[in-house]
Amino acid sequence: MKSSRAVDGSLKTHFDDNSCIHTATGRPFTWWQVDLGIEFYIHKLAIHLRTDYKSRRKGVTVYSSVAENQTNTGHLCGSTKSTSPDVTWMTCDDTARYITLYRNDHSNGDTAMSFCEVQVFVCDAGTFGDDCRQFCHWLNGPCNYENGECTGGCKQNWTGTTCSDRTADKQGLFGVMTYFPVTLTLV
């Protein structure tokens, strides 16, 4: 089936809805990969698994990498189990351009994968923490995406390790960061 269905924006999870992919059967391993086009800080992933056929959920591993590959290498974001929920979330916390799903689990007789959508969530520069909702007002270079540490200094009127403390003479409000999925390009 068309591999592009896994990034078509449809969250339908039945194969007959023409929104899921199915890799080849009878192979020693199978893989699927998406090219994000440029490197992003990948915060989380959501894998929308088929709900009408659950036997191929176990043993799918998800990797992020800056280089194209079709193997089980790169930064391990997580893996699925036979009991994984219909929407399985994984935290990557890695800078990457490619996301690869890989399976070599033969426990159900083949290594085929079948899933419906892969969503990739990134943090914008200047945000950090779980769900990228905390801000750091950095001066030279973005803050650390995990802990918010600003090694390049803070913008004027901001202080602290994470450049998120207002100086006493400037009080006010600032905007809210949105958390968004990335538009994906399939390789």
Find, among 49, 46, 47, 55, the residue nearest to 15 by Cα.
49
Percent of the chain with pLDDT over 70: 88
Please give the C-alpha separations between residue 13 and each of 19, 23, 86, 87, in angstroms, as whole numbers: 7, 16, 8, 10
Q: Which tens digit of pLDDT belongs to each residue from 55-78?
A: 888 889 999 999 988 778 899 999
- Amino acid code (one letter) for 112: A
Contacts for 126-129: CB closer than 8 Å, 24+ residues apart: 126/177, 127/177, 128/162
**R_g over Cα of the chain:** 19
Domain 3-122 - what CATH class?
Answer: mainly beta
* Domain boundaries, given as residue ranges, for the chain: 3-122, 125-175
Q: Which tens digit of pLDDT belongs to each residue from 13-65?
A: 777 788 888 888 888 888 889 999 988 888 889 999 989 888 888 889 999 99
Find, among 78, 21, 70, the residue nearest to 48 by Cα.
21
The model's pTM? 0.71
Dihedral angle sign, alpha carbons of residues 94, 48, 118, 176: negative
In whole angstroms, give the CA distance from residue 123 to residue 145. 7
